[in-house]
Structure 1
């Protein structure tokens, strides 16, 4: 029962403090300006989040009719394929040269 009384007293104290603060026109004006500034900032933040979500939903879901996006995806795929081919071919070329060098060296010794 003591908790309920403490809460009631706390709420009554907050209400009395708010009434005393907002009884002056100057304080009401300050509070209104602060509220409007906060509202503007929150709306701006929410709008920026909406913009980011629209950009994120496009990622990974290319539109077949979006030529620029498809070209970008195509170029990206070709870059990775080209890198893989260069790595594999360079390893194959090194191993082929090594085998040729070993054969030549062996034949020279006979």
Structure 2
């Protein structure tokens, strides 16, 4: 037999000897239950942190998108107004030329 087998047999025998007493089984059960609660709390906390991070990230993107849209709308309105002014000046200029003739 190899060294690993002896180690496993030794652990098994130690476990059996330890859990043979009812008092030790109860201690182990309490420790296991306590560990489950702590792991569950840690998982819930991690999920909440991830949820908060995702929502914050999404809110930031929404704000940036809204800002970009408003700036884009202002730019397109400004462009339209400039084009309209140029057309008005051209029309006004052609009307003045006709009246001078």
Distance 2:47 2:15 in 1: 36
Distance 1:59 1:47 in 2: 18
Unaligned runs of 5+ in 1: 65-69, 75-110
Matched with 1:54 is 51
1:15 and 2:12 are equivalent in the alignment? yes
Structure number with higher helix proportion = 2
Distance 1:46 1:60 in 2: 21
Give me the CA root mean square deviation: 2.2
Q: TM-score, structure 2 length as denominator?
A: 0.57
Distance 1:13 1:60 in 2: 53
Cα deviation 1:39-77 (Å, max 9, x = unaligned):
10000000000000001112232286xxxxx5xx97xxx
Distance 2:19 2:57 in 1: 53
Q: Runs of at least 4 residues of structure 1 off by over 6 A? A: none
1:45 and 2:42 are equivalent in the alignment? yes
Matched with 1:32 is 29
Q: TM-score, structure 1 length as denominator?
A: 0.53
